[in-house]
Every structure is written in structure tokens, then in C-alpha cells.
Chains A and B, each alone.
With several copies, the nearest count.
Chain A
Amino acid sequence: MDLDLDFMYETFFKILGGISTTLELTILSLLLAAPIAFYMAVLRLNDAKISSGAVRVYVSFVRGTPIILQILLLYSLLPSVLNTIVQTLGINFNVFDAIDPFFYAVVVFSLNTIALLSEVFRSALISISKGQLEAGLSIGLTRFQVYIHVIIPQAMVVALPNICNITVNLIKGTSLAFLMTVKDVLAIGKIAASFGYNYIEAYIDVFFVYIILCTIIQVLYTAAESKISTFRAMHV
């Protein structure tokens, strides 16, 4: 078994072109998901019957079912539904051409990230002692302010390693967007491999790219974690 080194070399640079798609999808999903997820986490802590129940159902459905299947529902059904609506309303708008599949990908991955992040945030919030909230309230801060200034900074220390898990998983997981014709790092590798069945080479290339990408991200997260945890790493 010999590796086709020329192919690997060429493909490697082709694959690099997919990084922007991969990163855009990852970052957009995280940014869109974070505030909603945080709100959901707070709702669940509040344990208010209806909203907290709704959040639980959402989380269990979205994180409990394979993304592939969600994509199937969203990508193959949603445009059809939209189209029917647009048609019956008689609006002159071509749903199929006007909406870039990238948009559907962002929606799918954001929905998933919301579910995962809401659990990350919930766990981080659980770790904060209630005295912190009370102290903030007692000096006249609003609940929102206490969260911003006191609770979130402390919770982030607990959350960051888990957000890092989610981020690297997203980087790899966004390759499912290829189901919607969105070409990320892995998709480009697969396309390149398909002509001559150079799958081994392509996968090695993709692996390298992921190593570079994920290492940078992990280093950033680790640095951030050690920076924001200075306040507690006193006794070692």
C-alpha cells in the first residue's frame, strides 16, 4: 500500500480552502447559540414548571437525535414547506435558489449548539454558591448585573473546558453540512478523493488540517481558562 504523496500535497492546499467555511459555521453557531443557551440554562435553574419543562424537551430532542436526521428534516422538508407557503401566498420568490444551503447549516448547528451549551452553562451555574448572588443583590445590583459582573465570570471558569469540547466537536461535526452541499474541510477532501479513491491520503490531509485548527483553538481556550481563573488558583 503506497501513499500518493503528490495527491496528498495538492489536496492539502485544496483542503485549506475549506477552513473558512468550517470556521464560519463553527463561530456563527457558537455566537448565535450562546445567549439563547444561557437564557435556557437560567430558566432551568429557576425550575419554573412550564418554561423549564419546555427547555428540557427541546434539549432532549435536539441533542438526543442524530444531526444527520435533523438535517434531513430541516434541509429536505423546510424549503419545501417554505416553497408551498410562498407559492400559496403568491409571492414571487424562489425559495430554492435564494436561500443558500449555508443558511440551513447555520440553523441546524445553532439549534444543536444551543442544546449542548445550555447544559454546559447550567452545570457551570450550579457550581456557583448562592451567596455570590445574594451578596450582589444586597448591594443594589440587579440580578442581570450580578450575573454579568460576578456569576458569569466565575461560571466561565467551569464552562470553558466544556465549551472547548463543544467547539472542537463543532469543527469536526460541521462536516455534516456536506449533506446540504456546503463544502467544508472534510467535504473537499472527500471530493478530491473520489476520483481515484485516494481516501487514505485525503483523510490524512484532513486530519492534519484538523490538528492545526483544533490545536490553535485548544491553546486559545486553555490560555483563556488560566487567565480567568487567576482568582481561584491560589492554594496549590
Chain B
Amino acid sequence: MLMQIKNVRKQFNGVDVLKNVNVDVQKGDVIVILGPSGSGKTTFLRCLNFLEQADEGTMQFDTLHLDLSHTSSSDIAKVRKKTAFVFQNYNLFANKTALENVTLGLTAGRHVGKSEALAIGRQALDKVGLSDRYDYYPAQLSGGQQQRVGIARAIAVKPDVILFDEPTSALDPELIGEVLRVMKKLAEEGTTMIVVTHEMKFAQDVATHVIFMDGGVIVEEGAAEDIFVHPKHDRTKMFLKRILPCGGICEEYECR
């Protein structure tokens, strides 16, 4: 088991945003988290990367056993070296060009040589279709371009685990396809991923495990087929019904 996350609880101003969340992640897994707006998806990912301190919860990562509510900074550093985060609002470094955004994690974070980092960085940007925007600053990029830089930044450092928070929200359907293809490729290469997304197609195609959250708890989880084809809970059924082609019961993926 690569990651075992247990019993995560998180409050904001006394309101529970996450309650007793448990997730097991095997190496190479692609875990998709679905759920309505405000259900705690982002908060959960942030807790995993210690950007938010959980009030309770443990995480076993590789050989590390961590208490999410008070983790030593050296442990945090270890986990972060092996993970990367794609932010819902991109959070590109405003003072760095697209290429610098992508290479920084290599040169500063991983002591990769400058020219090698540049090569890797260019490659990553090329993958997401930004070969003509290397030297643009974030303020000069369109929404979709910024989002893709964010993705390139995360994949460039070749982490063991990537946490994606709605990585295709600002993209047009054409590009969504491209980006999902890149992600699929990563999955095939064995990168472990936890992905918050509303792209059902991607979930159906790639997810090894689907989690449906609502109100800070995991309502239902299971293999993609199970969740999409035979959801058990009413809440899940309702959610899926509205959004899947053919009213939620859709065995023929091609339809979409």
C-alpha cells in the first residue's frame, strides 16, 4: 500500500468540513473524487499535502507513519518531495515565466542541472500544448493556458503521487481531451494520482477507484463501473443521474 489515509477530520470555525474520511491508495492507482461544490474535496487534497492541518487523522505514506494533526516539518518535506499538487486556482508563481514556473521545482527543489531542467520543462509545456508560451508571465496567459502551466509544473517534477484539483475546468473540450490523454499516459507509466474532477469520461476510463463525497463524508466509493453503473446510495444516484449521458445508466462509454 502506497498511502493509507485514516479518519481525517477538519473543521473551519467549528463547522465540520471533513468527517472521518478514509482512503487507501495503491501504487499506480488513479483515484477520482467526485462530489458537489463545497463538499470538501479541495480541503481533503490540501490536508494530504499539509497545506491545511487536519484536526485529526493519520497517513501512512510509503514507510512513513504520520499524524496529520501534528506532523514534523521534516516528515512534511519528505512527503512533499514525492508529491505534487495541481491547484484549482492554478497558483502560478506571478513573478516567473511559464517555463520558470515549471523548472523551479527541478532546479531548486530537486537540484537538477539548469540545462536539463530547461529540457524537461520545455517538454512538459509541449505536452500540454504551450510550446509557444515559454516566456509569458502568468498575467499574460489566458485562463486555460495558466491551468495547463499548473499541470506541467506538477508533472515536470515526476512525483510518485500527483494531487489534481479540477485540472481541466478552464479548458475547452478539445484540450480537455488532450490533457486527459496526458494523464492517462502518466497513469499507464505508474504514476499514482488522486484527481478531483467532474469529467465523467475520464473517471470511467481511467479511475481505478471512484469516491463520491458529499458534506465532508465519503458517501460511496468503489470501482468506476460499480459507482457509475450500480450506485447504491440515493444521493449518488441523484448526482449521477443529472450528469451522465443516458440518465446515469450508461454502459456504452462511446455514447459520450
| Interface residues, chain A, with chain B CB atoms under 8 Å away | 131-132, 134-142, 145, 148-150, 153-154, 228, 230-232, 234-235
Q: Which residue of B has the minimal Cβ distance to A236?
A: B53
Given A141-B104, A145-B109, A149-B104, A136 contacting B93 (CB threshold 8 A): yes
Chain A residues in 8 Å Cβ range of B159: 140
Residues of B within 8 A of A148 (CB): 108
Please indicate the chain B residues that have their CB under 8 angstroms from the CB of A141 in the complex.
Answer: 104-105, 108-109
Q: What is the chain A residue whose CB lies nearest that of B110?
A: A140
From B54-62, B79-87, B114-122, B225-233, the one touching the partner chain is: B79-87
A-B contact sample (12 more), CB < 8 A, given A137-B50, A141-B104, A231-B94 = A135-B87, A136-B93, A136-B104, A138-B51, A138-B84, A138-B154, A140-B80, A145-B109, A148-B108, A149-B93, A231-B137, A234-B137
In the assembled complex, the Cα of A234 lies from the Cα of B50 at a distance in Å of 15
Check if B153 is an interface residue, CB within 8 A of chain A.
yes
A139 & B104 in contact (Cβ 8 Å cutoff): yes
> Are A139 and B153 CB-contacts (below 8 A) given A132-B93, A231-B94?
yes
Chain B interface bracket (under 10, 10 to 19, 20 to 34, 35 or more): 20 to 34
Interface residues, chain B, with chain A CB atoms under 8 Å away:
49-52, 77, 80-85, 87, 89, 91-96, 104-105, 108-110, 137-140, 153-154, 157, 159
Distance A141 CA – B105 CA, assembled complex (angstroms): 7
Q: Please report the C-alpha to C-alpha distance between residue A235 and residue B81 in the assembled complex, in whole angstroms.
A: 22
- Cross-chain pairs A/B with CB under 8 angstroms, 29 sampled: A132-B91, A132-B93, A132-B94, A134-B51, A134-B91, A136-B93, A136-B104, A137-B80, A138-B49, A138-B51, A138-B83, A139-B105, A139-B157, A140-B80, A140-B83, A140-B105, A140-B109, A145-B108, A145-B109, A149-B96, A150-B93, A150-B96, A153-B95, A154-B94, A231-B94, A231-B95, A232-B137, A234-B139, A235-B52
- A145 CB, min distance to chain B CBs, angstroms: 5
Q: Considering the chains assembled together, what is the distance between the CA atoms of A234 and B146 in angstroms? A: 15
Docked-complex contact B89 and A150, CB < 8 angstroms: no
Q: Nearest chain A CB to B80's CB is how many angstroms away? A: 5
Question: Which of B82, B94, B96 counts the most A-chain CB atoms under 10 A from its CB?
Answer: B94
Closest residue of chain B to A233 (Cβ to Cβ) is B139
A-B contact count (CB 8 A): 87
Q: Taking CB as reference atom, which chain B residue is nearest A148?
A: B108
Q: How far is the CB of A141 from chain B (nearest CB, A)?
A: 5
- Quick check: B95 and A131 within 8 Å, CB to CB? no
> CA of A160 to CA of B84 in the docked complex: distance in angstroms?
33
CB-CB < 8 A to A134: which residues of B?
A: 51, 85, 87, 91
Top 5 closest pairs, chain A to chain B, by CB: A139-B105, A138-B85, A131-B91, A135-B91, A140-B109
Chain B residue at minimal CB-CB distance from A152:
B95
Cα–Cα, bound, A232→B92 (Å): 13
Closest to A138 in B: B85
In whole angstroms, what is the CA distance A142 to B87 when docked?
A: 18
Q: Which residue of A lies closest to B150 (CB)?
A: A135
Most chain A Cβ neighbours within 10 Å, of B51, B83, B137, B140: B51
A49 to chain B, nearest CB (A): 18
Closest Cβ–Cβ distance, residue B97 to chain A (whole Å): 8
Chain A residue nearest to B13 in the complex (CB)? A234
Q: Determine which of B50, B94, B138, B154 lies in contact with A139 in the assembled complex, contact meaning CB atoms within 8 Å.
A: B154
Provide the residues of chain A in CB contact with B87, threshold 8 Å. 131, 134-135, 138
B137 surroundings in chain A (CB, below 8 A): 230-232, 234
A149 to B100, CA, bound (A): 10
